[in-house]
Amino acid sequence: MTGLIGRAVDRVDGPVKVTGQADYSADIDPGGLAHGVFVTSTIASGRVTGIDMRAAEVSPGVLRVFTHQNLPPLARQPVWDLQKVTGMSFAPMQSDVIRYAGQPVAIVVAESLEQAEAAAALVSVGYEAHAPVATLADAEAAGGVFDPDHVMGILPARYRRGDAGAAFDRAAHLVRQDYTMSGQRQHPIELASTTAAWDGDRLTLWETTQGLTMTQWNASDALGIPPKNIRVISHYLGGGFGCKGSAWPHTWLAAQAARLIGRPVRLVLTRDQMSTSVGWREEQVQGITLACDDAGKLTGIRHVKTSATSPFDDFAEPSCNTAQMMYACPNVETTYRLARINAMTPVFMRGVGGNSGCFAIESAMDELAHELSVDPVELRLRNHADVDPRSGAAWSSKSLKQCYEAAGKIIGWTDRNPRPASMRKDGLLLGYGMSSAAYPVNQRELTEARIRVFSDNSAMVQCGAQDLGTGTYTIAAQIAAEELALGLERVTVMLGDTDFPRAGNSTGAITSASVGNAVQLAARNLRQRIIQLAVTDPNSPLAGQAEGSIAVDNGRLRSADLAKTDTYGEVLLRRQLTTLDGFSQWEPVSGTGISGGKIATIVRADTSSWSFGAWFAVVTVDPDLGLVRVERMAGAWGAGRILNHKTAESQMRGGGMMGIGQALLEGSATDPNAARLLNPGLNEYLIPTHADAPPISVTFIEEHDPYISPLGSKGIGELPVVGAAAAIANAVFHATGRRIRHLPIMPEDLI
């Protein structure tokens, strides 16, 4: 069954989802289930002076009320760790200290969710409140900005090549501006939840997580039990966008509650609690300085990012990476600066670093193009980086120029009038904008897969990865079916369980490539074993044939002349086998490829691997109301081998919609006095709806990249949101002649 990889195949998990048969983590009832509800702090800084639980404890159905006063301390306090992806180093309910509004201060556990909610409203908490630092602007005004040595524990806070200052002094043209982004929340449709059940000293967690292994190891640390005694299950995930890609306190607090009451406990965060319990994309101000000569060649770039972090962790998404590598420029400086505010630690959000960094650098490039009276695409072509400018390494593959051409042709870029505020449509201002996009190829996770072939010519794939909703079930089935030469309907995929072979996080656009490579290797190994069994079996029609001459189609082995055949099932049954397993490990490190079975280490050290693309957007702006509508978008992408064109196109359109939200709708509002969110839920925090969705055209530049993995897939989960907001903001400038340098762009900015 060749040709399945890359085909636009429907999702194999689609039927169970649309018919309501898919069990998400908060659907699980292990029997005897109790329900937990958080009580959260109403202050952002200070301490708890007392908690009156008496009314809650006698409320109908209540089993226990837990606070820092009666909850056992964690075995190990969390430490922010990029490898284990611990969400933050502060653990609530370990003391009376309050560090951010919405911090859990109590858990009410009752027979039903409604009883727990009613009782939680009866808990009375006394506080000693301290004056909080509410926003990045407040921290800056108080002189609270500092220069860390590293952010996220490992990323150097400063980068330099050449002498950017001298380049600015000699510049023929200079753009120096600040670009501001409001704090953002991920808000996946599925709320974060934990269902925890103990069986003696063994714990099972049904968890809304982008990383089963990550959850297992963090829970082990927090609870002080061996990882082998913790099983984590997540068969389906209703989105995450990064907020479920780290380990958060609600997981081990639910586990503690379950152990103490001796019953399974389900704890589901409310929509408002999602805004204060699972991270956020930080407020940030990005200062960009660009210098160029009269020919439009960049001579200097400076990118200084100042962002808010928590009182206890030095986190900043890597927004400066784009400025370091996107364009050929000899003199580049980037710096991260931080300011502590009373909020939980920020976290990764889709397109982490690339999304925010692209908004800043691509807006500045648009400003420079306008100053030079040069077409924005032409300016980017003049500064195209033919090698990675940080190291001089060749790109493993790069199709950015083709992306400009393909997406620009779809959008009709050359048909526009380049003069700002010169185009009209039905009385509305009309504008065109574009942006480059880039995201690194992150292939860092050791991933294992097991495939079992049955004597009825069917197969089962098992992998401990999770399907974030992006199509991992489908891609694994396609790869296994093609490599085993079986019909897609003959392959079953099982994911989402730490009892399956080990896999890593679904973050950084790595899942399809990691799982795909492991499944491909396991399937190839298994097919070869079956061929070996056949040709060495004197009772097989293929006995004595050369292994390399055997072809396989639809589970049937054929000799080179097609005269002799055997089936998987017949080969197994003659050996008194009802099943046969194949196993693989795939771990990308620099070195030489080993195709024999266990470790494939083929990533080249002398190349730089990124995915590239371009977004183009057309907007209308009502000149009286300032209302912006995105009329059309077109994106083109060079992202290695596309494993499923249908799910890939869906990913890119979803990224475009997230870009619309980021550009025009999404922003967190904070009470400056109380440091409490004013728009925590979806009634107030605006995200795009179907009415905001324009036609979005997507095309891929197929790349053959032999350096990144056997499968050649780069991963696209993060890429499509990168550059989308910048393209829209640049289109707003072209429509109106007014440059808005903060997100979201509001109607009042344009009136």
- pLDDT(258) > 70: yes
Alpha carbon distance, N-terminus to C-terminus of the chain? 59
**Token output for 474:** 């489908």
540 with 663, same domain?
no
For the residues 370-381, what does the mean pLDDT come to?
98
Residues 390 and 454 both lie in one domain: no
Least confident stretch, 111-115, 306-310, 514-518 = 514-518
Measured CA to CA, the distance from residue 438 to residue 723 in angstroms comes to 8
Q: What is the pLDDT of residues 406-447, one digit of tens each?
A: 999 999 999 999 999 999 999 999 999 999 999 999 866 789
State yes or no: pLDDT of 61 exceeds 90: yes
- State the pLDDT at residue 130: 98
CB atoms < 10 A from the CB of 687, how many? 16
Which 8-state DSSP code applies to residue 10? P
pLDDT at 602 (0 to 100)? 45
Over residues 421-430, the pLDDT tens digits come to 999 999 999 9
CA distances from residue 208 to 93, 194, 232, 514 in whole angstroms, order as listed: 21, 7, 10, 20
**Could you tell me if residue 612 is inside a domain?**
yes
Number of domains in the chain: 3
**In the chain, % of residues over pLDDT 90:** 90
The residue with greater pLDDT, 135 or 84, is: 135
Residue found under tokens 């019909």: 487
User: Both 429 and 469 in a single domain?
Assistant: no
pLDDT at 444: 64
Tokens 């209540």 found at: 62
pLDDT band per the 50, 70, 90 thresholds, residue 84: confident
What CATH number does residue 113 fall under? 3.90.1170.50
Give how far the C-alpha of residue 41 lies from the chain's centroid of Cα atoms, to the nearest Å: 29
Considering the domain architecture, whether residues 430 and 330 belong to the same structural domain is answered as: yes
Query: For residue 108, what pLDDT band results from cuts at 50, 70 and 90?
Result: very high
| Separation between Cα atoms, residue 407 and residue 617, nearest integer Å | 10
Asked if 611 and 723 sit in the same domain, the reply is: yes
Q: How many Å apart are CA 460 and CA 492, to the nearest integer?
A: 5
Residue 601 pLDDT:
41
* Of the residues 586, 620, 641, the one at which a domain ends: 586
- Cα separation, 59 vs 78, whole angstroms: 34
Distance, in Å, from the CA atom of 377 to the CA atom of 20, rounded to the nearest integer, reads 47
Window from 88-102, 253-267, 503-517, 714-728 with minimum mean pLDDT: 503-517
- Is the pLDDT reported for residue 505 higher than 90? no
Amino acid letter for position 625: L
SS3 8: coil
Q: What is the average per-residue pLDDT within 153-175?
A: 96
Please check whether residue 153 lies inside any domain of the structure: no
Please count the CA atoms within 13 angstroms of the CA of 312 that sit on its side-chain side: 18
C-beta separation of 29 from 38 below 8 A: no
Q: Has residue 236 got a pLDDT over 50?
A: yes
The pLDDT value recorded for residue 594 is: 33
Do 371 and 510 fall into the same domain?
Answer: no
Q: What are 594's two structure tokens?
A: 């080993």
CB distance 523 to 516 below 8 Å: no
The pLDDT of residue 375 is 98
Residue 105 has pLDDT above 90, yes or no: yes
Clarify whether residues 465 and 427 are in a common domain. Answer: no
Residue 391 lies in a domain: yes
CA gap 324, 336 in Å, rounded: 13
Q: How far apart are CA 465 and CA 272, in angstroms?
A: 29
The predicted pLDDT at position 708 comes to 86
In this predicted structure, the answer to whether residue 593 has a pLDDT above a threshold of 50 is no
Does residue 149 fall inside a structural domain? no
537 lies in which domain range?
A: 444-586
Do 456 and 524 share a domain, yes or no? yes
Domain assignment present for residue 163? The answer is no
**What's residue 1's pLDDT?**
52
186, pLDDT greater than 60:
yes
CB atoms within 10 A of CB 172: 13
Write down which residue in 551, 586, 621 finishes a domain. Answer: 586
CA distance 455 to 480: 16
Confidence of residue 187 (pLDDT cuts 50, 70, 90): very high
Same domain for 299 and 435? yes
CB atoms within 10 A of CB 676: 21
* pLDDT, mean over the chain: 94
SS3 for 361? helix
- Closest by CA position to 611, among listed 696, 515, 512: 512
Q: Give yes or no: residues 582 and 484 share one domain.
A: yes
Q: Which of 342, 345, 347 is nearest to 672 (CA)?
A: 342
Q: Is residue 457 part of a domain?
A: yes
Same domain, 52 and 195: yes
pTM of the model: 0.95
Q: What is the DSSP letter of 721?
A: G
- pLDDT value at 592 more than 90: no
Handedness of CA 393, 395, 400, 402 (dihedral sign): positive
- Among 277, 302, 326, where does a domain finish? 277
- Of 164-168, 542-546, 586-590, 627-631, the least confident: 586-590
| Strand arrangement of the beta sheet that strand 124-129 belongs to | 97-98, 46-52, 124-129
Whether the predicted pLDDT of 153 surpasses 90:
no
Peptide bond between residue 744 and the one before it cis (omega within 30 degrees of 0): yes
Query: Is 172 inside any structural domain?
Result: no
Residue 598's pLDDT is: 42
Can you tell me which residue has the tokens 């990064």? 242
Q: Give the mean model confidence (pLDDT) for residues 152-172.
A: 95
pLDDT in the model for residue 81: 83
Tokens 């080179």 belong to: 560
* DSSP string covering 640-703: B--SBHHHHHHHHHHHHHHHHHHHHT----B-TTT--BS--STTTS----GGGPPPEEEEE---
Residue 190 is classified by DSSP as S
- Does residue 595 surpass a pLDDT of 60? no
Side-chain half-sphere exposure of 746, counting CA atoms within 13 A? 8
| Residue 182, domain member (yes or no) | no
Can you give the pLDDT at residue 511?
A: 84
Q: Is a pLDDT exceeding 90 seen at residue 599?
A: no
Average pLDDT estimate for 543-566: 93
Task: Output DSSP code: residue 453.
Answer: E
CATH number at residue 493: 3.30.365.10
Three-state secondary structure call for residue 65: strand
* Residues 416, 331 share a domain: yes
Q: Which residues face 394 on adjacent strands? A: 387, 607
